[in-house]
A and B are shown apart, each in its own frame.
Chain A
Amino acid sequence: MNNNTEDLSDTYRHSGDIFQSIFDEIGKVIVGQREAVTQILITILCDGHALIESNPGLGKTLTVSTMSQILDLKFNRIQCTPDLMPSDITGTYVVEERDGGKEFRFEPGPVFANIVLADEINRASPKTQSALLESMQEKQVTVGNETYLLDRPFFVLATQNPIEMEGTFPLPEAQLDRFLLKINLDYPTFEEEDEIVERYTRNVAPSVNRILTRDKLLELQTLVRDVPISDEMKKRAINIVIQTRKDAEFIEFGASPRASIGLILAAKARALINGRNFVSEEDVVKMAYPVLKHRIILNFESQRKGVTLEHVIDGIIKHAKIL
């Protein structure tokens, strides 16, 4: 126990350098997208899952795979298609000949990794989506009568393509609630795109070094939950979530208490990444958007008036009072 405490103290003391190294290292491969990278890191530190929505070609897969290299985690990618079966994700039994006999052997599916990128999850059938979402929630897979635990840490980064929505199966709202954050990747600026072209039109592709071990990452996850938050900030976060259920003007369905948990955890992670040992109001406010965006359903009135989710969340944050 003492060794664990000492290791934890040591990791805490060097956490600032660790995070800076992670950003520097990922910056070698990914140009810009600082906020998106931060939110992916926050998701990992909170032991959650993220839904990434972006147009094609913005480096979703590259970002996630680079992150897995830096964090020394096993990475698997699942390309979701309409004909994808649940067993294609969870794994299945195969018949194997051994010692002159045949027996079933479980062949783990791609979900048995530390970071799983489920690309275009809205293209998979609802049954397949459920299989993945169940593994996200339970951190285990049940095949037949056997239950297989998934390795820790375990993150699912699911992507959705906002353009090609035809023939897709949008995730139901109840399932969307399982994702901690919804991350948007934006198009790069001219200077960033110039840098991207410069790097990726050469013979030498950029590479990254490992920064963290799995144990260090688990320690960082522990430290995130240890970050102190004042009662005032806690109430502020809860009040923001509750207001999504009370705002009848533009919101059809508000966020669940899972959003309150997610908001506070994400705020703690953001504080630690920014070198603070307490949660500030800025942490709560900044994290409110990615936490709430996929959990709120706007009503027809908002669509009629052209009110966006960002506007609604903005209004809620401004008007939410401390209880």
Chain B
Amino acid sequence: MYDDIDDIEKISRAFHRHRFYYKLADFIALTLLLYALSYYFNVGSLFSQYIEYYIVDAISLDEILVMALSILVSAVLVIILYIRKPAIDTIGMIESRNGWMQKRLKAACDTINEDNVVAADLRNQVTSRLKDVDAGSFLNRRHLLTMIIASVVLTIASAGLFTTQTHVDITPEDITTLVDELEGKLPDSAFPPGDNQTSSPDGGLDEDIYGESSIASLEGENVELVIIPGIGTSVTIRHAGQDDDVQFVPSQTYPVDVVSSTAADESYQLLQQLSILDRDLIREYAIQMSQQ
């Protein structure tokens, strides 16, 4: 429609570029905001079944899904926001910033096909003034700067949330209750009585799940020694007397952690079957108890 007024076309293209910048800035800021909020409110628990799948070594599938969800929701919100905005009115925007252009620019554009002295004079005046219009001055720098600063702040906040440990706002009493509940799920053999384990009057286990180091001293001949997997970090066999070609069944080795005790024999495998949340609770409980 305004082919003969090239400057208007250039300015119109610039305005469309500006709108694209606004959309991009809004999209990035909104995505980061949603991601930070989803991390804070533990939205990732919705995808807990994918927690053990890793796409990239350091990033699990559930985190990627949370990010994808944030991107999708923010894209939808940005689309809705900008669909509701009116179409770019290039002429109206130019006229609003330039009092001289008001009504003149519209009249010149609407009569662009008229070939007469007066219309030609108006077009010449408008065209010469359009060359002085700087499309960059219409860029809403404040909006862009605000979005950029918000994005930076949200990125820092997200990074902070990511690196801090999971905060579990529960008391030791809550963990005790949970342990009691868990006791009902596990067989009695999971927590065999030992020197450092006493059964409480209520029938539950004592809270001391750490065991003392013990040395088993066996004497005799033709001793049938079976090392139950999970006991101790290692077994050192020393025997006095002549060397016999005795074959011993080596035990499994496993890393030292809270389950590395006499309580963690067959129960270790059973405990591994618990959910990550339950295991995290037990870990947190143990830490708090150790600090008392």
Contacts and interface: CB of A to CB of B under 8 A. Distances in A.
B97 interface: no
A277 B116 contact: no
Contacts of A2: none
Given A277-B121, A277-B125, A230 B107 contact: yes
Interface residues of A, number: 19
Contacts of B110: 228-232
Contact of B103 (A5, A223, A281): A281
Chain A CB within 10 A, most for which of B107, B109, B125: B107
Contact of B107 (A9, A223, A228): A228
A278 interface: yes
Nearest to B105: A230
A227 interface: yes
A278 B117 contact: no
A29 B110 CA distance: 42
A111 interface: no
Contacts, number: 53
Interface string A202-240: 000000000000000000000100111111110000000
Given A228-B111, A229-B111, A223 B118 contact: yes
A8 interface: yes
Interface in A1-35: 5, 8-9, 12
Contact of A226 (B103, B109, B114): B114
Interface string B101-123: 00110111111001011110110
Contacts of A281: 103
A198 B121 CA distance: 44
A140 interface: no
A202 to B, nearest CB: 43
A290 B3 CA distance: 39
Contacts of B122: 228, 277-278
A86 B63 CA distance: 98
A112 B5 CA distance: 48
A142 B6 CA distance: 55
A213 to B, nearest CB: 19
A280 interface: yes
A279 interface: yes
B230 to A, nearest CB: 85
B118 A277 contact: yes
Chain B CB within 10 A, most for which of A223, A227, A230, A278: A278
A60 to B, nearest CB: 32
A231 B103 contact: no
Contact of B118 (A5, A226, A230, A232): A226
Given A228-B111, A278-B108, A233 B103 contact: yes
Given A277-B125, A281-B103, A223 B117 contact: yes
A227 B108 CA distance: 10
B103 A230 contact: yes
B108 to A, nearest CB: 7
Interface in B121-141: 121-122, 125
A298 B106 CA distance: 36
A16 B67 CA distance: 68
A8 B110 CA distance: 22
Chain B CB within 10 A, most for which of A8, A226, A230, A277: A277
Contacts of B119: 226, 228, 277
Contacts of A226: 114, 116-119
Contacts of B118: 12, 223, 226-228, 272, 277
Interface string A262-286: 0000000000100001111100000
Given A277-B122, A277-B125, A278-B122, A231 B106 contact: yes
Interface in B189-222: none
A184 to B, nearest CB: 28
B116 to A, nearest CB: 4
A272 B121 CA distance: 13
A205 B114 CA distance: 47
B108 A228 contact: yes
Contacts of A227: 118
Given A231-B106, A278-B103, A12 B117 contact: yes
Given A223-B117, A228-B110, A229-B110, 10 more contacts: A9-B117, A226-B114, A226-B118, A228-B118, A228-B119, A229-B111, A232-B106, A233-B106, A277-B122, A278-B104
25 contacts: A9-B117, A12-B117, A12-B118, A226-B114, A226-B117, A226-B118, A226-B119, A228-B107, A228-B111, A228-B114, A228-B119, A228-B122, A229-B107, A229-B110, A230-B111, A231-B106, A231-B110, A232-B106, A232-B110, A277-B121, A277-B125, A278-B103, A278-B122, A279-B103, A279-B107
